Amino acid sequence: MGRMEERLKKAIADTANTTKKVVKQLSDNPKSSKYIPPHRHCVICYTPVPLDADPAHCGDQPCAEKHARQEKSRKRLNLMLYLFPAIAIMLFLLPILT
């Protein structure tokens, strides 16, 4: 038990160290070649787009259309997520109240 625990702790520490090193390599200095400016990606084609892009796609016609479709189906799903439980509750309550 003790040995296993120690090995696990060492592995965790090693992983943490490696992660720290990698994060350090990505510089905060805008002049460094390792610098990555804050940005986001087009939700369809993953092209980098400005941080404040809204809607979050690159503006190309296919991406805009696909994004609009996705948004529509997402809204419909969201509505159903609330509507179906509401109907279920009503069906359950109706026989009790009448």
Residues that bind Zn ion (CB under 5 A): 42, 44-45, 57-58, 63
Please give the full DSSP string across 32-78, using - where no structure is assigned: STT---S-EE-TTT--EE-TT-SSSS---HHHHHHHHHHHHHHHHHH
C-beta of 44 vs 53, nearer to Zn ion: 44
Cβ 63 to Zn ion, closest distance in Å?
3
C-beta of 61 vs 98, nearer to Zn ion: 61
Cβ 76 to Zn ion, closest distance in Å?
23
Query: What is residue 96's DSSP assignment?
Result: H
CA distance 55 to 83: 26
C-beta of 48 vs 85, nearer to Zn ion: 48
